[in-house]
Structure 1
Amino acid sequence: MPDLLDTHMENRWMIQPNHANILETAHGGHVLKWMDEIGAMAAMRFSKESCVTAHINHVDFQRPIMVGDLALIEAYVYDVGRTSMRVRLRAYREDPQTGTQEQTTESYFVYVAIDEDREPTSVPELTVSTERGKRLQEAALNGESRDE
């Protein structure tokens, strides 16, 4: 059975002018796209199947990411159903010179595993075998419960 920490993924993008809105901050649509992509990667790593986005909880854009900053997107599977996986997603702005990070965005997505016929297929059980994994799972479960 896959472990929560096996699904932890992150990626970075440097915010360029073509990613920005008229305020010279990352366009929310780009951030949401990056979140969806890295979330799907975490779900695919967990399920070993192709995955599609089934649900996006509301998205909190808490602060902007400026042109020249790095957008760091973090994802991990924290709960599963029969064919679905819940993924916590957070975005951070990161100073490329100092590495200083500040959370900018948070959401919870649900992905469904699909087979070669594009039909939902079962996923394995999730294991959480480390203290760090338990803390991440608890944080996700507590954070999501306030939204639903």
Structure 2
Amino acid sequence: MPDLVDTRIQNRWMVQPNHANTLGAAHGGNVLKWMDEAGAMSAVRFSGETCVTAHMDEVNFKQPVPVGETAFIDAYVYGAGRSSVNVRAQVYREDLRSGRRELTTNCYMVFVAIDEANSPVPVPDLTVSTEQGEQLYEAALEDAPE
């Protein structure tokens, strides 16, 4: 069975002018795309199947990521149903020199595992066998929408 820490996907994007809105910060649509891509990769890593986005819940934009700065995306699976995969995704603005990060955006997503005919397929149970995994799991449940 897949372990939570093995589902974690972390990615970075340097915010370029073509990613920006009229205020010189990452356009919300680009941030959503980056979160969705990382979330899907996490769901695929967990399920071993192609996964499609079924739901994004309560996307909260807390602060911008200006052009020239780095968006750090962190996504992991924190739960699963019969064919559904629950993913928590967070975006941080990261200073590459110091490594300091500030949370800018967070979201909870549901993906569905599908086969070649685009029909839902079962996913495995999620295990949490490390202290780091337990911390991530508890953090996801603490903030998850009801």
- TM exceeds 0.5? yes
Q: How far apart are the structure 2 equivalents of 1:48 and 1:65?
A: 32
Give the alignment's TM-score, normalised by structure 2: 0.98
Distance in 1 between residues matched to 2:73 and 2:35, nearest whole Å? 6
Q: When the two structures are aligned, how many residues end up with a matched partner? A: 146
Consecutive unaligned residues in structure 2, runs of 5 or more: none
What one-letter code is carried by the residue in structure 1 that aligns with 2:10?
A: E
Query: Equivalent residue for 1:137?
Result: 137
- Displacement after TM superposition at 1:131 (Å): 1.1
Give the Cα separation in 1 of the matches to 2:141 and 2:28: 25
- 3-state SS of the aligned residue for 1:58? strand
What's 2:102 paired with? 102
Deviation, structure 1 residue 55: 0.7
Matched position secondary structure for 2:38 = helix
User: 1:54-96 deviations in whole A, cap 9, x for unaligned?
Assistant: 1110100000001110000000000000000100000000123
**What percentage of aligned pairs have identical amino acids?**
60
Deviation per CA, 1:4-45: give whole Å up to 9, x if none. 000011100000011011110000000000000000000000
* TM-score, structure 1 normalization: 0.97
Shift of 1:103: 0.6
Which secondary structure state, in structure 2, belongs to the residue aligned with residue 142 of structure 1?
A: helix
d(CA) in 2 for partners of 1:130, 1:58: 28
Please provide the CA RMSD for this pair. 0.7
Match of 1:72 in 2: 72
Aligned AA for 1:41?
A: M
Aligned to 1:50: 50
1:15 match: 15
